[in-house]
Amino acid sequence: MKADPFKILPPESKNKILLVDDCDTIVKVWQRYLEHQPEFRDFEFIKASNGYEAKEIYKQCSNEIALIITGLMMPRMSGMELIDWIRKIDNKLPILVIAGSGGQPYFKLYKGNPKIITLTKSTDLEVMAKNARKLLKNCSGSEQSGQVWY
């Protein structure tokens, strides 16, 4: 059987996507949408309701996380604080930032960083998925036959 040339195939060691936002409904919508996209079916989704929870999850399974999708404005520890903390440890992990209007002024902090993409919460879910795919492909270690391996 010939492999789909555009399918993202995570190895067992990098098969998790960490979803971080203080609105549980938003996180569920992100997860449900991505789970139904063929490129993301092999990924496991982990949820955190703020940056502090995400930080603790990251400490436990950093070698398994392929992508973080996070909001910015959250209680206890913001998405910005989470990103700053992660970048001190891992400057290669791709991060998709999705923020409401209150977070948009902070987008300029990440402009020009190819491993961070910023979107507004009003963004269409397909645009979110497209940018998640882009980050996973651009931040992978190698490409073989059009497939991305982690």
pLDDT at 33 over 60: yes
The pLDDT assigned to 144 comes to 29
Q: Dihedrals φ, ψ of 111, to 5°? A: -60, 135
What does the pLDDT read at residue 103? 67
DSSP element (H, E) containing 9? strand 8-9
Q: Binning pLDDT at 50, 70 and 90, where does residue 12 land?
A: low
DSSP reduced 3-state for 26: helix
**Which domains, ranges and CATH numbers included, belong to the chain?**
12-149 (3.40.50.2300)
Per-residue pLDDT tens digits for 51-70: 999 999 999 999 999 999 99
Q: What is the pTM of this model?
A: 0.82
Band of residue 147 on the pLDDT scale cut at 50, 70, 90: very low
Tens-digit pLDDT profile for residues 72-131: 888 999 989 999 999 999 989 999 999 877 767 777 778 878 899 989 888 889 999 999
Q: Which whole number is the average pLDDT over 10-20?
A: 78
% of the chain surpassing 70 pLDDT? 83
Look at residue 108 in the predicted model and tell me its pLDDT. 77
Which of 85, 91, 69 shows the shortest CA–CA distance to 21?
A: 69
- DSSP-derived 3-state class of residue 116: strand
